[in-house]
Structure 1
Amino acid sequence: MMSPSERIGRATPYILILLGTLLVLTASQAMISLAAQAYLSIAILLCTLVIRRRPGHFARLLMMGLSTFISLRYIFWRLSYTLEFENWFQTSLMLTLLFAEVYSWIILFLGYMQLVWPLNRKECPLPDDESLWPSVDVFIPTYNEDLSVVRNTVLAAMAMDWPADRLHVYLLDDGRRPEFRNFADEVGVNYVIRANNQHAKAGNLNHALAHTSSELIAVFDCDHIPVKSFLIRTVGWMVQNRDISLIQTPQHFYSLDPFQRNLDISEHIPPESNLFYGLVQPGNDFWNATLFCGSCAVLRRTALVSIDGFAVETVTEDAHTSLRMQRKGWESAYLRETLAGGLATESLALHVGQRIRWARGMVQIFRTDNPLLGRGLSLGQRFCYLSAMLHFFFPIPRIIFLLAPMAFLFFGENIIYATPLAVMTYVVPHLLQSVLTQSRMQGRWRYSIWNYVYETAIATFLAPVVVVAFFAPRRGTFNVTAKGGLITKDYLDTRMVRPNIVIGCLLVIASFFGIHGMIDHRATPVLFQTYGMNLLWTTANLLIVLAAVTVGYERRQVRRAPRISAQLDIVLRDPEQGKRYPAQTQDLSKGGLSVTMLGPLPQGVQVVEVEYINKRDKITTCVPARIVNQRDVLVRLEWMSRDTQDETAIIEMIFGRSDAWSQWSNYSNDKPFHSLTILTRSIANLLMLVILRRARQV
């Protein structure tokens, strides 16, 4: 039973949204002179610059309202005053651009609704009486992944802090491989196979669901390694509220994704996935619309049974499953605590393949189980799911925006019937307000401009998939994302960047057309300004396309076990002399570790025992390691694991600590100009790298 103050707090966002929407809709339709529009935009921009430095929800809501107001004025102006139908070709180009703009505005508005009041849910403690703790089945599905990847997750799942008689780990092997069966028998986990691979991952999970019985089910992709306290920190909500069907946690990736590695920005720019797990999911949680993401989550068996198991109708079984549970009235929860770490896609090609499946699946859900239709969902839930599904239509508008200025520069077709001054008076405030507002909202989770790079790098590959899935939603199959691969040398993946190279060449040619047009029409102000405006648009597009191309320059990656930065107090013990030497780790991997000593190790010491004790997480490690090299107080060691027990101890030390991934959000808040600088510098650095390597080869 909520108190009156809690009811007021819960209702406040709805009231503010309703009042704000009514005011904005009313005011944004008032048509005024061009000069008055300019003065209004400047006044609102100045207010925004003052407000964005203020903390709190009210400042965020006010910025969102001002941005919505300015953007609505732009859209109403576009629809009312800038459409002129001359011929079929010009009309087609004009309506195509208008479609892209309306889509972008819808996504902007839905994004504001989705993030209006992110819910920063805290952990819910479990009952002191352990007899009240539920039993948990842990599902680890696998198909073609290497055993070296899978065994880390299995051993970590077995080591989770939970009563042994209520923790059951299942390795679900759709590859039906003998070495996996032998491994399962060796470590003592349940090995489950089925006769066929029907419905891919969802079918694998449903098969296990039918052969298990625990109250709760934890699901981990086979490369996602949970911390020991995963269940302790998540299950409390499931015990406290029996109506919660799902509690999702972030999927954190401890290896670099293609953008971070290939653009060399890992220390400067948040990973692409941080926006979704750091901000979008807490926003969904406010609306009781948390999406199941297929891993790092706990689900209630009765909720799954009520919808006949994991959804099999689309290739994104995770999001569809949560949608179906919420249609049945089940609640969901999101805990923004990184309690597992996994492997990111190693290359741009694998990244694109993964996004193709996501795009296909979300468009399939949009067509076959549209959240705007049917019963069971609240308005907020419908908006959140609609936003998630419409987002994956982005490839088509993205390509349209890249090519749009060529309509005038190549063909002389006006696709916005207005003077350049009028266009800039409406479009510049719209863009500035949305950039500043999203910069404030997204903060340390996503930096300005980078969204365009992420989208442009994959848009040409996803666009045909989106179109096919929209018109033929039953087509398409589940594709498994490969993890744990190697890149033996630096190279440009021409197959993945060829479409953007073509677009880049067209933009360069268009730029020459723009410069030539400005020179030829310098005596005609309107034409001169029109060429200049389209040249500016083309230049901005070219910068984004260059960044997208450089992502395809794959960097060498030959470490199967990525190094993870961690400063842990340890002791190196000389087993022969019995002496102990305090040290601190610098980085750790499954293969070894680097440590800093208080003083140099004595000559002749070749093997030591690494001792680490973590009382909070009940981790005790004592594993031998061979000294690989030593430079003064910096020592590199290689693990000498003797058995599975040693391997488990190493995994717990690296991945099992509660604070193993606590640094995932340690980025400064976004500054748009700084973000642009990083983008430009990244492109320049990689271009110089390629040029220098070519020069050496010559």
Structure 2
Amino acid sequence: MFDIFMRTTWIFSAVSFVFFVTQPIGTKLHFFFSIISIGLMIVISWLRLGGVFRHIFLALGSIIVIRYLYWRIAETIPDPSQIADFIPGMLLLVADLFCITMLALGLFVNAQPITRPAAPQLREEDLPSVDVFVPSYNEERDLVATTLAAAKALDYPQHKLKVFLLDDGGTDEKFYSFDDAVSLTARARRADLQQLCAELGVTYLTRERNVHAKAGNLNNGLAHSAGDLVVVFDADHVPAREFLRETVGHFATEPKLFLVQTPHFFINADPLERNLQTFKAMPSENEMFYGAIQKGLDSWNAAFFCGSAAVLRRAALDEVGGFAGVTITEDCESALELHSRGWKSLYVDKPLIAGLQPETFESFIGQRSRWCRGMLQIFMLKNPLFNKGLSLPQRLCYTSSNLFWLFPLSRLIFMISPLFFILFNLQIYNASPQSFVAYTLTYIVAVILIQHYLYGSLRWPWISELYEYIQSVYLLRAVMSVIANPRAPKFNVTQKGNSLAEDELSPLAWPFYAIFAFLLATFVYTAYRYAMEPAARDLLIVIGAWNVFNTVMAGLALGVVSERRERRKIQRLDVSRRGSLLIGDQEVPIIVKDASVGGLKAEIAGGDGRQFGQLVMPGRHQATIRIDSRAGAPLSAEVAITSATSVDDRRSLGLRFLGNNCDRYRIIADIAYGDLSAMRALRASRQNRQGLLVGTARTLVWAAREALRGLFFLLFRRNVRANATGQQAVLPPPGIRSPEALPQTGLASEPAPAVVRPAVAPPASGRSARVPDVSLADFAPGTRA
């Protein structure tokens, strides 16, 4: 009875609110009311007031938005009899309605975000068993090995922890392929990773066929494991040692909890951050999602699985037949299935993994295209609005997450709309300059203030617009392909680790130059019309400003697609760990200052190191580095001293790992990833608010600078990845090592034998199966099919 009363009250309040704000009060009175409301919003935002003031702020902004919407529909639509005006006018209205709908859903999702308390700490005998899945496809060996070593070193009773490498790059389908290159690569990869897993104490699993992509790979892991909980880490997501201690305890307090999701934190810059050089100062793009939106979703029991850095309950997965694989975003789809069955989720806002983002603009667009297709697939094939198992808030939350990916349509409509008036004098927006200022301009200001209030420390002004623009040009095709055939999209693995050795123009750059040139030419034509048509000057100022904004975004985009080289192919992480170098019978105390899988930078502790004389000269000696592990037992590995320099009475050493055993991965996992407090401090330091005026001025300066840099790249960096003959270079797939490079397998010193076909065709079924160790030597030469 109480629920019915509360629902009735909310409905009555909403109807009354809408009735009030849609009353005709005249343009001047509306403008006066909007200015007062905006002033109050600015004060609340500037003072960073929360609690009841948060609701007052959002209510004031909502009133301005709803009054704009009412005016927009009632007074600005072109005459339907004027088809040339009406059709583009309706397209613009649809784009407007989409943005207002997404704003309303966003305000609902983020109305009252929550921050979860720390997980309860359980006694060892009460801890559930945990299976860690690391799905892999084509990642580099060093990347996979570091993640596996960190997973093995998790702070958890070892008899209750089992780590699995789920290798989809060495399946039977690839192993027995009739394509020689595919077969040889798969055989080399399988032998290499099997040896790696044996050394690390990890279980290696592959399967017969690459069916259902990542979902199928994870389900194969479920079929060959039995832990109470399942943890998923992408191959490039290295977990902190305390990951399980910060998450597992939540499952003991809620029997219907199926998911604990943690944020994805990245140690490298995405293409926008690298090319605009903002990585160390500006909040990363994903901070708005993981720092605010997921917390808002969590308040409605709608935080969803993000594919990695998460813990899931096996019993819940068993109830729905494992990870869902109908769409190419198995993570969100699986969460939707489980939420509709009454299971609950929880979000812990603490970075507990360190991952990698796509390094190039091309791979960035490939990743976002997959996300876009998958989320729209979910909406079209499993529409959450009509899912009776979900609560109304959950339906709205999933709808918000799915429909967001239609932004390419609205973004491109907003880009071309000013051109209809500037170039063809079409009246697609019936409004006087006075009405435009009173309604449209105040609406835009209110929306900007709302975004800044909710996400100011997580997203700088105009950065969302830039990210959406650079994606829209290519994601439009992805959107249309799903609309045409929702079942057509296929899973594509995001390429990572393919950093650029030289500055270059992205292969995807050309549309952005064409758009920028066209918008710039339109700006010149607008100035010409302004000079020649005095009667149209008021509208030309308004619409010309709109076109200038689009040109600014286009200029910034030229900087994004003008790609700077990556100075380090291997990411180095700042650390501070004491250890020692054993050189012969002498021990040199050191402090490790940074680390990567290739080597370390260290300082001699307790002085300038003169007492060690020639002992630490580069090229003279090999040494053994020893580090006290966080788990207790010391870790050691063989290194060579590659450099020795003195700065400010401190002796710094460059150390390179020798050999190819797994000791290096255990050391890197322990000293670089065992404690992510330094990375969390970096994340916190970047979460700084920038004022709207300062942010706008900065954006204008960036646009001018990046447009010039983009033109320089167009003139002098046009030979994109070309070889000496001028043809496009063919690069090997990242992460696959040739048989000659395999360590200690008997293949390193022998020529690669011919690819051998089995006498019997590989299994035709799609069932999961654990594949036995197989090497090329198991097949007799001379039996080539």
Q: Same fold (TM over 0.5)?
A: yes
| Residues 504, 545 of structure 1: 8 Å contact kept | yes
Asked whether the 8 Å contact 1:570–1:583 carries over to 2, the reply is yes
The Cα of 1:67 is off from its aligned counterpart by: 1.3
Determine the structure 1 residue equivalent to 2:82.
87
Partner of 1:280 in structure 2? 293
d(CA) in 1 for partners of 2:694, 2:644: 40
Show the counterpart of 1:74.
Answer: 68
The equivalent of 1:3 in structure 2 is none
The yes-or-no answer on 1:530 pairing with 2:534 is: no
Equivalent residues in 2 for 1:61-140 (5 A)?
61-85=55-79, 86-128=81-123, 130-140=124-134
Return 275-284 or 23-32, whichever deviates more.
Answer: 23-32
2:510 aligned with 1:490: no
1:102-501 → structure 2 map (5 Å cutoff): 102-128=97-123, 130-176=124-170, 177-493=190-506, 495-501=507-513
Contact 1:264 1:682 in 2 (8 A): no
Q: CA deviation at 1:531?
A: 0.8
Partners of 1:682 and 1:596 in 2: CA distance: 39
User: How far apart, CA to CA, are the structure 1 residues paired with 2:264 and 2:632?
Assistant: 24
Partner Cα distance (2:239, 2:334) in 1: 22
Q: Using a 3 Å threshold, how does the CA distance of structure 1 residues 212 and 100 change in structure 2: closer, same or farther?
A: same
**Structure 1 unmatched ranges of 5 or more:** 1-7
Q: Helix, strand or coil: the match of 2:311?
A: strand
Residues 181-235 of structure 1 deviation map (CA, whole Å, 9 limit, x = unaligned): 2222232211111110111110111122122111110011111111111111110
Select 1:511's aligned residue among 507, 520, 523: 523
- CA contact under 8 A between 1:457 and 1:549: conserved in structure 2? no
Q: Matched residues in 2 for 1:696 and 1:305: separation? A: 57
Question: What is the Cα deviation at residue 613 of structure 1?
Answer: 4.8
Q: Tell me which moved more, 617-626 or 544-553.
A: 617-626
CA distance in 1, matches of 2:283, 2:402: 23
Q: Residue deviations 1:408-462, cap 9 Å, x none?
A: 0011001111112211211111111111121111132111210010011010211
> Displacement of 1:44 after TM fit?
0.6
Residue pair 2:505, 2:717 contacting (<8 A) in 1 also: no
Counterpart of 1:69, as a letter, is I
- What do the CA deviations read for 1:637-682 (whole angstroms, capped 9, x no partner)? 2243564234302221001214253122322123222323333343
For the residues of structure 1 that align with 2:67 and 2:475, how far apart are their CA atoms? 31
Q: Which residue of 1 aligns with 2:600?
A: 593
More displaced 10-residue stretch of structure 1: 466-475 or 24-33 = 24-33
Compared CA separation, residues 591 and 645, structure 1 to 2 (3 A) = closer
Within 2, Cα distance between the matches of 1:555 and 1:696? 13
Measure, in 2, the Cα distance between the counterparts of 1:618 and 1:93: 68
Q: CA separation of 1:623/1:186 partners in 2, compared to 1, >3 Å: closer, same or farther?
A: closer
Q: Distance in 2 between matches of 1:531 and 1:277?
A: 41
- State how far apart, in whole Å, the 2-side matches of 1:680 and 1:634 are: 45
CA contact (8 A) 1:623 1:639 kept: no
Q: Report the equivalent of 1:671.
A: 691
The alignment's C-alpha RMSD in Å is 2.6
SS of the counterpart of 2:434? Answer: helix
**1:593-630 C-alpha deviation (Å, 9 max, x unpaired):** 34566642224223666565576x75855556525131
CA–CA distance in 2 between the matches of 1:612 and 1:452? 47
Structure-2 change in CA distance of 1:687 and 1:599 (3 Å): farther
Q: How far 1:171 moved relative to its partner?
A: 0.8
Equivalent residue letter for 1:644: C
Q: Which residue of 2 aligns with 1:680?
A: 700
- Which structure has the greater CA radius of gyration? 2
Contact 1:469 1:475 in 2 (8 A): yes
What do residues 363-406 of structure 1 show as CA deviations (whole Å, max 9, x unaligned)? 11101111110211111111111110010000010001111100
For 1:219 and 1:424, the matched residues in 2 are separated by 51
Change (3 A) 1:574 1:547: same
Question: Aligned letter for 1:466?
Answer: V
Q: CA shift at 1:51, angstroms?
A: 1.1
In the TM superposition, residue 485 of structure 1 has moved relative to its aligned partner by 1.4
Asked if the contact 1:137/1:212 (under 8 Å) is kept, the reply is yes
How far apart in 2 are the matches of 1:20 and 1:428? 28
TM-score by length of 1: 0.92
What secondary structure sits across from 1:655 in the alignment?
coil
Partner in structure 1 of residue 654 of structure 2: 637
SS in 2 for 1:140: strand
Q: Is contact 2:503–2:717 with CA below 8 Å preserved after alignment?
A: no
Closer, same or farther in 2 for the Cα pair 1:563/1:694, shift >3 Å?
Answer: same
Query: Residues 347 and 24 from structure 1, CA distance in 2 versus in 1: closer, same or farther, beyond 3 angstroms?
Result: farther
Offset, 1:278:
1.0
Q: Give me the whole-angstrom Cα distance separating, in 1, the residues matched to 2:125 and 2:27.
A: 71
2:578 to 552, 565, 570: 570
Q: What's 1:4 paired with? A: none
| SS across alignment from 1:161 | coil
Q: 1:31-87 CA distances to partner (integer Å, 9 max, x unpaired)?
A: 122111111111111111111113323222222211111111111101001112242
The range that moved more, 346-355 or 18-27, is: 18-27
1:659 aligns with 2:677: yes
Bigger shift: residues 175-184 or 569-578? 569-578
Residue 497 of structure 1: CA displacement? 2.2
CA contact (8 A) 1:246 1:331 kept: yes
Distance change in 2, residues 1:282/1:648 (3 Å): same
Instruction: Name the stretch that deviates more: 644-653 or 569-578.
Output: 569-578
Report Cα offsets for 1:671-698 as digits up to 9, x if no partner.
Answer: 2223233333434444555677899999
SS at match of 1:393: helix
Q: Which region of structure 1 is more displaced relative to structure 2, 80-89 or 620-629?
A: 620-629
Structure 2: any 5+ residue segments left out of the alignment?
A: 171-189, 719-785
Matched residue type, 2:595: L
Distance 1:697 1:75 in 2: 47
d(CA) in 2 for partners of 1:325 and 1:579?
56
Secondary structure of the residue that 1:124 maps to in structure 2? Answer: coil
- Among candidates 39, 43, 51, match of residue 36 of structure 2: 43
Residues 581 and 140 of structure 1: is their aligned pair in 2 closer, same or farther, counting only changes over 3 Å? Answer: closer
Tell me the alpha carbon deviations over residues 117-171 of structure 1, each in whole angstroms, 9 at most, x when there is no partner.
111112212222x111111111111112221211111111111111111111111
Query: What is the distance in 2 between the residues matched to 1:690 and 1:394?
Result: 25
Q: Which moved more, 1:653-662 or 1:31-40?
A: 653-662
Asked if structure 1 preserves the Cα contact closer than 8 Å seen for 2:638 and 2:658, the reply is yes
Structure with greater contact order relative to length (CA < 8 Å, sep ≥ 6): 2
How many angstroms does 1:565 deviate by? 3.1
* TM-score normalised to structure 2 length: 0.82
1:333 match: secondary structure = strand
Amino acid at match of 2:468: E
Name which of structure 1's ranges 179-188 and 531-540 shifts more when overlaid on structure 2: 179-188
Question: In 2 relative to 1, CA 247–279 (structure 1 residues): closer, same or farther, beyond 3 Å?
Answer: same
Tell me if structure 2 keeps the 8 A contact 1:265–1:682: no
Residue 667 of structure 2 aligns to a residue in which SS? helix
1:669 aligned partner, one-letter code: R
CA gap of 1:350–1:621, structure 2 versus 1, over 3 A, is same
* Deviation >6 Å, runs of 4+: 13-20, 691-698
Alignment counterpart, residue 25 of structure 1, candidates 14, 18, 25:
18
Could you tell me which residue of structure 1 aligns to residue 643 of structure 2?
A: 628
Distance across 1 between alignment mates of 2:634 and 2:19: 65
Describe the shift of the 1:574–1:142 C-alpha distance in structure 2 as closer, same or farther (beyond 3 A). closer
Amino acid at match of 1:164: Q
